[in-house]
Structure 1
Amino acid sequence: MVAHIIYVVSDSVGETAELVTKAAISQFNGSNAILKRYPFVEDIDNINEVLAMARNDQGMIVYTLVKPDIREYMKEQAKEQQINAVDVMGPIMDMFERNFDKAPLNEPGLVRLLDEDYFKKVEAVEFAVKYDDGRDPRGLLKADIILIGVSRTSKTPLSQYLAHKRYKVANVPIVPEVDPPNELFTIDPSRCIGLKISPEKLNHIRRERLLSLGLDDKANYANIERIEREMEYFDKISTKLGCTIIDVTNKAVEETANIIINYIQKRI
């Protein structure tokens, strides 16, 4: 069986061109096709090399080139040398340019950067879920940010918000009856953020929470004396850690998150 050689050419890594080529080949059951990826094509010399190889092998070319001059050169030379070549990216970009009434960036590899950003975000969200509420202290050693605070100081919502900004966040509840994990005292204190809140505000939040669950709002969980003891214990632990403290009493999650991000960026 004759082997059909297909050069997959790109000014980036060539994943898009190869995926499209393989999808098309799959429709021709039993055909013998050999793919040769030729990535990071940057200039006319690279194009000439590919054209020479394709001409010598009687091969075909499938290409994704975003730079207009390089793309046009490939198109003209392939036609002139009677080499079968398919431009995967050009026609779509031309159509989008007409319809968007906007010139493209013409920068190779942007989709890969977007994919990497997306997967980093997914990884951070999964991390926040896995190490929420002190479930596994080992997460403290891997986290970019560790949040500590008593119950209902927005540790979980903050962890998720920061995860969507690609930060790996673990959080630890501070409860007088439970010693914090040992790992908390081994980390760099600059990665730890303590969330403080006024007892009166926390009392209101906890009472509303109990009522929403159909429970008595006079339970010990919302008792002001109990809350004050919790806050004293929080002060003791945060002082021992030497961590930065943020008062979240009258702050929205987004506002607190921005303060944390600014702090982390300055620290870096």
Structure 2
Amino acid sequence: MDIYFNVHLLSDSTGETLNAVMRAACAQFEDVSPLEHNYYLVRSQRQLDRALREIEGAPGIVLYTISDEGLRKTLEDWCSLTHTPVLPVIDPAVDVLSRYLGLRSNRSVAGQYKVDSSYFTRIEALNYTLAHDDGQSVEDLGDADVALVGVSRTSKTPTCVYLGNRGIKAANVPLVPGVDPPEILMGPNSPLVIALKISPKRLVDIRRQRLISIKEDPNTAYASEEAVREEITWANRLFARMKWKTIDVSRRSVEETAAAILNTISESGRN
């Protein structure tokens, strides 16, 4: 039986760090289902007061990333008074860096989101990725940091978008049985190509669920076991012939697939 509990996430920024930490921590426990209460861009006393009223009405754990010393003290004092468990999630990492570097943190709000050259690099990469989704604009695939190839429904698009947000120009090239990939991917001047593999059973399940979600008949050749097996066999032979690096996405999340791709890019020395 699942254990439900309230977890309140307070951030003076977007809350991405809090969500990632909370979910990673909860993943270490079985049958645990956190009830998330999110308070983003908390930068004033009025905003904090509203969050505290809601926490009082639904007691639980408080995780926060707030830089303003006054707001931090108010939150910490309130949690101490009400015996509410509270954790400033990035403080341990900041403290370690401060001791190691011999520097004092400037506690900047949303410092990781400042508009600088790295920000514009990410925007450029995202624009490239969106323009090269699903086999578009093959004429300039040579500009890609990585080209992901694979049969339909192997999570190429979400993986490319994730990579784009990390500043990687990722192109998504779908494979159709019997049709050769774009020539640029098969020549000596090709970008780094990574092939996404998947088990037939997993792909059948994904395709059938997709057809059901759009109210189409799941009993078609697109999702039939025999057709899928033939399609995957053809793709795997192509991967072997081209000697492309492969990643099995059968049981990987998009984040795990992207992490493996980032490792491959780093090892290749192309980025």
Give the AA of the match of 1:163.
Answer: G
2:134 alignment partner in structure 1: 133
Preserved CA contact (<8 Å) 1:192 1:243: yes
Distance in 1, matches of 2:182 and 2:205, equals 29
Q: What is the number of equivalent residue pairs in this alignment? A: 172
Q: CA deviation at 1:139?
A: 3.1
Which residue matches 1:158? 159
Deviations 1:236-257 (A, max 9, x none): 2212221101000000000011
Query: TM-score of the superposition, structure 2-length normalised?
Result: 0.57
C-alpha displacement of 1:97: 8.6
1:224 matched residue in structure 2: 225
Taking the TM superposition and a 5 Å limit, the aligned residue runs for 1:137-216 are 137-187=138-188, 191-216=192-217
- The separation in 2 between residues aligned to 1:114 and 1:209, in whole angstroms, is 38
What root-mean-square deviation, in Å, do the aligned CA atoms of Structure 1 and Structure 2 show? Answer: 2.9
1:264 paired to 2:265: yes
Matched with 1:61 is none
Q: Are the equivalent residues in 1 in contact too, given 2:198–2:250 (CA < 8 A)?
A: yes
Letter in 2 for 1:267: S
Letter in 1 for 2:192: R
Retained in 2: the 8 A contact 1:159–1:169?
A: yes
- Check 1:99–1:201 CA distance in 2 against 1; reply closer, same or farther (3 A cut): closer
Is 1:149–1:196's contact at 8 Å kept on the other side of the alignment? Answer: yes
What is the DSSP-based 3-state SS (H/G/I as helix, E as strand, rest coil) of the residue aligned with 2:241?
A: helix
Structure 1 segments of 4+ aligned residues over 2 angstroms from their partners: 96-105, 187-190
Deviation at 1:137, TM superposition (A): 1.2
Task: Please identify, of 184-193 and 224-233, the stretch whose mean Cα deviation from structure 2 is larger.
Answer: 184-193
Paired AA for residue 124 in structure 2: E
Residue deviations 1:167-196 (CA, integer Å, cap 9, x gap): 000111111143211111125577110000
Report which of the two structures shows the higher radius of gyration computed on alpha carbons: 1
* DSSP-derived class of the 2:194 partner: strand
Distance 1:255 1:234 in 2: 22
**One-letter code of the match for 2:217?**
D
**Amino acid in structure 2 at the alignment position of 1:213:** I
> Is the partner of 1:250 in helix, strand or coil?
coil
Partner of 1:246: 247
Give the stretch that moved more between structures: 161-170 or 232-241.
Answer: 232-241
1:259 aligned partner, one-letter code: A
Distance 1:198-1:158 versus aligned 2 partners, 3 A rule: same
Residue 104 of structure 1: CA displacement? 5.5
Q: Assess if the C-alpha contact under 8 Å between 2:144 and 2:171 holds in 1.
A: yes
Contact 1:161–1:257 (CA<8 Å) still a contact in 2?
yes
When residues 99 and 203 of structure 1 are mapped into structure 2, their CA distance, relative to the original with a 3 A threshold, is closer
Does the 8 Å contact 1:145/1:193 carry over to 2? yes
Cross-structure match for 1:115: 116
Alignment-mate amino acid for residue 133 of structure 2: D
5+ residue gaps, structure 2: 1-67, 74-93, 95-103
1:124 is matched with: 125
Name the TM-score, length of structure 1 as normaliser: 0.58
Unaligned runs of 5+ in 1: 1-95
The change in CA–CA distance for 1:223 and 1:176 in structure 2 (over 3 A counts) is: same
Read off the aligned partner of 1:230 and give its amino acid letter.
Answer: E
